[in-house]
Amino acid sequence: MSRLVMKFGGTSVGDVERIRRVARLVAAEREAGYGIAVVVSAMSGETNRLVDLANAAGEGLPAEQFDDEYDVVVATGEQVTTGLLALALRAMGIPARSWQGWQIRVASSDTHGSARISDINAGEVAAAIDAGQVAVIPGFQGVTEEDRITTLGRGGSDTSAVAVAAALEAGRCDIYTDVDGVYTTDPRLVPKAKRLDKISYEEMLEMASLGAKVLQTRSVELAMAKRVPVRVLSSFVEPGHPNPGTMVCDEDEIVEKQIVSGIAYSRDEAKLSLKALQDHPGVAADIFGRLAEANINVDMIVQAPSRTEGTVNMTFTVPEREADRALDLMTSAQTQIGFEQIEVKKNVSKVSVIGVGMRSHVGVARIMFDALSKKGINIENIATSEIKISVLIDSSYTELAVRALHTAYGLDSA
Amino acid sequence: MSRLVMKFGGTSVGDVERIRRVARLVAAEREAGYGIAVVVSAMSGETNRLVDLANAAGEGLPAEQFDDEYDVVVATGEQVTTGLLALALRAMGIPARSWQGWQIRVASSDTHGSARISDINAGEVAAAIDAGQVAVIPGFQGVTEEDRITTLGRGGSDTSAVAVAAALEAGRCDIYTDVDGVYTTDPRLVPKAKRLDKISYEEMLEMASLGAKVLQTRSVELAMAKRVPVRVLSSFVEPGHPNPGTMVCDEDEIVEKQIVSGIAYSRDEAKLSLKALQDHPGVAADIFGRLAEANINVDMIVQAPSRTEGTVNMTFTVPEREADRALDLMTSAQTQIGFEQIEVKKNVSKVSVIGVGMRSHVGVARIMFDALSKKGINIENIATSEIKISVLIDSSYTELAVRALHTAYGLDSA
C-alpha cells in the first residue's frame, strides 16, 4: 500500500465542522487505497491564546528560563486537534488514533521554541497505517533526548509533515492550505496569475524565501534533501471535486520547463548605503560581521567605485523592520569601519524572477531590464543566483513591475 | 528535607493572576524549608470547553471508541496549567519545572475517562525536589502501559495529589480549595457550623460519600490506605495569614475525640418500596442484581413483614436521577421478581451523623431519634454503620433536621 501524508493548517481545522471536512478529505484518499498519516496544526486562534497565557505567566523571564515551559503550554494546541480529528474520523467509521510527538517519537534538538527535527522513529506508526488505521500526528511538536516537549517555531507544521513523509517513505506529502496551489505570482496583485501544475524544489525554495508564503522555507529544504514530492492544494474543496494543486518535485520530473516559473516580490526591504568607505581588505567582513552578530539578515550586497580616491560605495538591503537597528549599529561604529556618510532608504521593494530554465537560456535578464525600462522603472540594485534575478526598485512601482514582468515572460493566462 | 505536596483546583488557577497567587503560596512553603511538588487542575472552564469539543467531534461514538481520544483532548487542560505555574514560579526566582503524567510516570489502568492510578515512579521527581526545584505535576492524568494518555475522571486531581504524596513519601498533602476546611456540617445550612481542626480518615470518608463535597471519596480512601496526612485549606488566603484548615489523619492522632464529628445530608435521594414481595431465598439477590447490572447505586435497604401471608415489604433508596430507570427496571420484571405493587417517593433526604466516638459510646442513636421526634420529623428508613447513623426523612424537613442534630450533639459554636 502506498503511504500518503496529508497536512492541514490552523484555518482548515478551525472548528469541529471544518475538522469533519478534513475527515471527509482523508476518507476519500483512504477510499482511493492510500495508507494515511494526517499532520495537523492547532485550531486557528489557539496558538495565539496559549502564547499570550505563557507570556503573561512568564513575564520578564529570559529565553533560557522561558522557552521549555512555553513549549509545554503551546504544544497542547496541536494535541487537542489530533484527538478531535481521530474522533471525527472514527465517527465516520474510519479506524484512527492520535500519536503525540513523544509517542512516535519525533526526536528534536533542545532549542525550545524553534527546535529542529533530528529523527523520526516511525516504525510503530507505519505498522498501524499499513494495518488500515489513519495516524493523526501533531505538527510543530518534538521531544528532546531528555523527554521534554519542544515546538518547532511558527509554521513548523509544514516541516513536520515533510519529515513524517520522509520517515514513512510516503509517496507524497499533500499540504492542504487556504490557496489552491502555487501561482506564477501573487494573484491578488496580478489577476492573470496562473496556478502552476509543477514547480521544482529549487524554484519553490526561492519563491518561499522571497516572500511567497505558501510553504515554509524549511519544509521545502527538507523535501528537497529527502526527495519527498510535496503537493500544495486547497483544503476548502469537498472530496470528489477537482483539486489538482501544485506538485513540488524534482526538476527532472518537469517535462515542459518554463524559462521563468514565477515572479516573487517583497515590500519588507530597506536599502543602506555606506558612502566613501575605506577600501581595504577586511572592511566587508567587519561590516557584515557586526550585522550578523546582531542577527540582522543582509541581502543584495553591491560594491561600486566611489568618486573619492581609495574608497568605495557599499549598498545592501535588510528587512525594513531591522533598518533602524542596522543604521544605529553602523553609525556607532563609523570611525572603526571608516566611511564618510550613511543613507537609508525604506520605501524599496525586491522583485525577483525565478526559473530553473535560466540555467540553459541566455537573455533572461535582458527581458527583465527591457520590461522595467519600458515602464520607466529605475533599478537600484541587482542580485542574481543560478535560477533567480532580483532587482530592488522604488516601492510605489511594485505592482506595475510585477505585472509587466508577468506579461514579458509569457506567464499571463489566456 | 521534608517533602510537601500542594494541590490547587480549577478556580484556584482560573487565570494568570490567580496562578501568581498560587506561586506565592508555594514560595512561602518553600521558604519554610519544604521540598515541594504542586499538583494542579485545568484552569476553571477549560475542562468543560475541551469536553464539549470532544463530544462534538465524536458525536454518536460508543464509549470504547471515544474515551481514549477524549483523554488526549481533555488532558491538555492540566498540561497548560503546569507550564504556566512553572513559568510564574520562575518569574519569582524559584527553580521549577513541569512533569507530565508520561514523564514521571503516573502509571494507570487503561479504563480511559475514569482510569485508576496503579503506580507512580517518582524517583526522578523526588531527586529534582530534593535539589531545590519545585515539581509542577498535572492532576487528573495518567499513562497506560502502552503509553497512551488517560484521565482519572472528574475530581481526580485530589486523588492524583494524594498518590503523588504517597509516592514521594511526603509528610503532608495540602489540598487548597474554595472553603477553609471541613465543617461539622454545611455552613450554608447551619451558620453555627464549626471548622474541624482534625477529622479521621474514616469519618472523612463517610462525610465525602454522604455528600460533603470537600474531597473526592477516592482520594480519602487512598490517603487512608497509604496513611498520607491530608490537610484541606483555603486557596484564597495570602501567605502569612492564618489558614489552619482541617487535618484529615489517623484516628489515633486525634486526642479529643468527639462522639459525633459531623452531620452530613443529601437531597439527591429517592425511595422505592416493593409491596407484598414473595418471601423466598434469592429474591433480594434477584432485585439488587438487576439494579447493579444497570449500574444503579442502592442504599438503605430495609425489609419488613407485610400484612399478606408469605410476603414482605422491601424498601431501598437510589440516587434521585436514577429513580425512573430503577422503577422501569422493577416494573418490567414484576412477574419474575414477584411483587404486588411498587411505590416511588422522590422528595426524601438522607441525614447522617458521623463520628468514630460512636464505637465506644451508647445512646448516640437515641439522641438522634429524640431530637428529630421533638421537631415532629418522621423517620422513613434507618441505616447504620460502626461510625454513622443515617435516616431518611421528608425533604422539606432537611434544614430543620440538620440544625436540630447539630445542636443536640453539642456541635454549635459558641
- Kindly state whether residues B196 and B279 are assigned to the same domain: no
DSSP string, B369-390: HHHHHHTTPPP-EEEEETTEEE
Residue of chain B nearest A73, judged by CA positions:
B80
Size of interface A-B (CB pairs under 8 A): 115
In DSSP terms, B247 is beta-bridged to: B198, B231
Mutation pick from B80, B112, B146 vs chain A, by most beta carbons of A within 10 Å, is B80
Q: Is A45 left (phi over 0), alpha (psi -120 to 50) or beta?
A: left
Residues A393, A399, A400, A401, Cα dihedral to 10°: 50
Nearest 5°: phi and psi at A233? -150, 170
- Kindly state whether residues B37 and B93 are assigned to the same domain: yes
Whether B258 is in a domain gets the answer no
Give the whole-angstrom CA distance, residue B189 versus residue B183.
11
Nearest 5°: phi and psi at A211? 115, -5
Domain holding B140, by residue range, is 3-252
Q: Which of A251, A277, A295 is the last residue of a domain?
A: A251
Pairing verdict, β A35-40 and A134-138: parallel
Nearest 5°: phi and psi at B403? -65, -45
Residue of chain B nearest A67, judged by CA positions:
B87
SS3 for B15?
coil
Q: Assess contact for B20 and B87: CB atoms under 8 A.
A: no
- Kindly state whether residues B201 and B281 are assigned to the same domain: no
Task: Walk along chain B (414 residues) and give the pLDDT tens digit of each residue.
Answer: 799 999 999 999 999 999 999 999 999 999 999 999 999 999 999 999 999 999 999 999 999 999 999 999 999 999 999 999 999 999 999 999 999 999 999 999 999 999 999 999 999 999 999 999 999 999 999 999 999 999 997 678 999 999 999 999 999 999 998 888 999 998 888 999 999 999 999 999 988 776 667 888 889 999 999 999 999 999 888 888 999 999 999 988 887 777 899 999 998 899 999 999 998 888 999 999 999 988 898 989 988 888 888 899 999 999 999 999 999 999 999 999 999 999 999 999 999 999 988 888 888 889 999 999 999 999 999 988 889 999 999 999 999 999 999 999 999 976
At B338, list the grid cell. 414477584
Residue of chain B nearest A43, judged by CA positions:
B53
Chain B nearest CA to A147, separation (Å)? 7
At B166, list the grid cell. 504517597
A16 touches chain B (CB under 8 A): yes
Residues in chain B within 8 Å Cβ distance of A53: 16, 80, 84
Partner B, chain A 303-332, Cβ-Cβ below 8 Å: none
> Are A91 and B149 within 8 A, CB to CB?
no
Whether B171 is in a domain gets the answer yes
How far from B294 is each of B209, B283, B353, B386, CA to CA, in Å?
20, 17, 30, 29
Q: Assess contact for A75 and A101: CB atoms under 8 A.
A: yes
How far from B250 is each of B253, B255, B362, B408, CA to CA, in Å?
6, 11, 23, 26
Whether A323 is in a domain gets the answer yes
Q: Which of A251, A281, A297 is the last residue of a domain?
A: A251
Question: Minimal CA–CA distance to A210: which of A258, A269, A159, A156?
Answer: A269
Give the whole-angstrom CA distance, residue B111 versus residue A122.
26
Q: Assess contact for A152 and A113: CB atoms under 8 A.
A: no
Whether B209 is in a domain gets the answer yes
Q: Which of B252, B280, B311 is the last residue of a domain?
A: B252
- Kindly state whether residues A24 and A95 are assigned to the same domain: yes
At B346, list the grid cell. 422522590
Chain A nearest CA to B143, separation (Å)? 11
At B268, list the grid cell. 439527591
Give the whole-angstrom CA distance, residue B103 versus residue B141.
11
Residues in chain A within 8 Å Cβ distance of B76: 76, 79-80
Whether B150 is in a domain gets the answer yes
A214 touches chain B (CB under 8 A): no
Question: Minimal CA–CA distance to B207: which of B188, B220, B197, B222?
Answer: B220
**Predicted local distance difference test score (pLDDT) of residue A211:** 62
Give the whole-angstrom CA distance, residue B107 versus residue B115.
10
CB nearest B72 (choices: A79, A147, A148): A79
**Predicted local distance difference test score (pLDDT) of residue B343:** 95
B62 Cβ partners below 8 Å, 6+ apart?
Answer: none
Nearest 5°: phi and psi at B273? -125, 125
- Kindly state whether residues A351 and A205 are assigned to the same domain: no
Identify the residue whose cell numbers are 440516587.
B319
Whether B274 is in a domain gets the answer yes
**Predicted local distance difference test score (pLDDT) of residue B309:** 85
A91 touches chain B (CB under 8 A): yes
CB nearest A73 (choices: B69, B72, B83): B83
Residue A105, preceding peptide bond in cis (omega within 30° of 0): yes
Whether A256 is in a domain gets the answer no
CB nearest A54 (choices: B20, B71, B87): B87
- Kindly state whether residues A303 and A206 are assigned to the same domain: no
At B70, list the grid cell. 477524549
In the DSSP assignment, the letter for residue A378 is: P
- Kindly state whether residues A15 and A144 are assigned to the same domain: yes
How far from B20 is each of A58, A68, A224, A252, CA to CA, in Å?
10, 19, 47, 59
- Kindly state whether residues B248 and B269 are assigned to the same domain: no
In total, chain B counts a number of residues equal to 414
Whether A186 is in a domain gets the answer yes
Q: Assess contact for B167 and B120: CB atoms under 8 A.
A: yes
- Kindly state whether residues B248 and B279 are assigned to the same domain: no
Pairing verdict, β B299-305 and B311-319: antiparallel
In DSSP terms, A389 is beta-bridged to: A353, A384
B137 touches chain A (CB under 8 A): no
In the DSSP assignment, the letter for residue A189 is: T
CATH number at residue A235: 3.40.1160.10
**Predicted local distance difference test score (pLDDT) of residue B201:** 94
> Are A57 and B85 within 8 A, CB to CB?
yes
B40 Cβ partners below 8 Å, 6+ apart?
Answer: B7, B8, B13, B22, B78, B81, B82, B85, B136, B137, B138, B139, B157
Give the whole-angstrom CA distance, residue B70 versus residue B50.
9
Residues in chain B within 8 Å Cβ distance of A60: 91
SS3 per-residue string spanning A101-125 = HHHHCEEECCCCCCCCEEEECCHHH
Residue of chain B nearest A19, judged by CA positions:
B57
> Are A79 and B73 within 8 A, CB to CB?
yes
CA A238 to chain centre: 26
In total, chain A counts a number of residues equal to 414
Total of domains in chain A: 2
Question: Minimal CA–CA distance to B38: which of B164, B219, B223, B221?
Answer: B164
Partner A, chain B 46-65, Cβ-Cβ below 8 Å: 50, 53-54, 56-61, 65
Give the whole-angstrom CA distance, residue B401 versus residue A95.
56
CB count, 10 Å around CB of B212?
21
Identify the residue whose cell numbers are 535588510.
A318
Predicted ipTM of the assembly:
0.85
Most distant CA pair in chain B, distance:
79
- Kindly state whether residues A323 and A243 are assigned to the same domain: no
Residue of chain B nearest A22, judged by CA positions:
B57
Give the whole-angstrom CA distance, residue A326 versus residue A173.
40
- Kindly state whether residues A246 and A310 are assigned to the same domain: no
CB nearest A90 (choices: B58, B72, B102): B58
At A321, list the grid cell. 523592520
- Kindly state whether residues A230 and A281 are assigned to the same domain: no
A69 Cβ partners below 8 Å, 6+ apart?
Answer: A54, A58, B83, B84, B86, B87, B90, B97, B98
> Are A59 and B149 within 8 A, CB to CB?
no
Chain A nearest CA to B174, separation (Å)? 23
At B5, list the grid cell. 505536596
Question: Minimal CA–CA distance to B70: which of B56, B90, B89, B84?
Answer: B56
> Are B76 and A72 within 8 A, CB to CB?
no
Give the whole-angstrom CA distance, residue B171 versus residue B4.
6
SS3 for A401?
helix
* pLDDT mean by block of 10 residues, chain A; 414 residues: 94 95 96 97 95 97 96 97 98 98 94 92 95 97 96 87 97 93 90 92 85 82 95 90 93 82 92 92 91 90 87 93 95 94 94 89 89 94 90 95 95 80
How far from A168 is each of A128, A163, A165, CA to CA, in Å?
11, 9, 5
Q: Assess contact for A51 and A150: CB atoms under 8 A.
A: no
Residues in chain B within 8 Å Cβ distance of A128: none
CATH number at residue B380: 3.30.2130.10
In DSSP terms, A314 is beta-bridged to: A274, A303
Kindly tell me the sign of the dihedral angle through the C-alpha atoms of A204, A205, A207, A208: positive
How far from B202 is each of B199, B221, B251, B289, CA to CA, in Å?
8, 9, 8, 28
pTM over 0.95: no
Residues in chain B within 8 Å Cβ distance of A85: 57
A76 touches chain B (CB under 8 A): yes
Residue of chain A nearest B95, judged by CA positions:
A65
B131 touches chain A (CB under 8 A): no
Give the whole-angstrom CA distance, residue A373 versus residue A369.
6
How far from A35 is each of A3, A32, A92, CA to CA, in Å?
5, 9, 17
Residues B102, B108, B110, B115, Cα dihedral to 10°: -110
B155 touches chain A (CB under 8 A): no
**Predicted local distance difference test score (pLDDT) of residue B83:** 98
Residues in chain A within 8 Å Cβ distance of B101: none
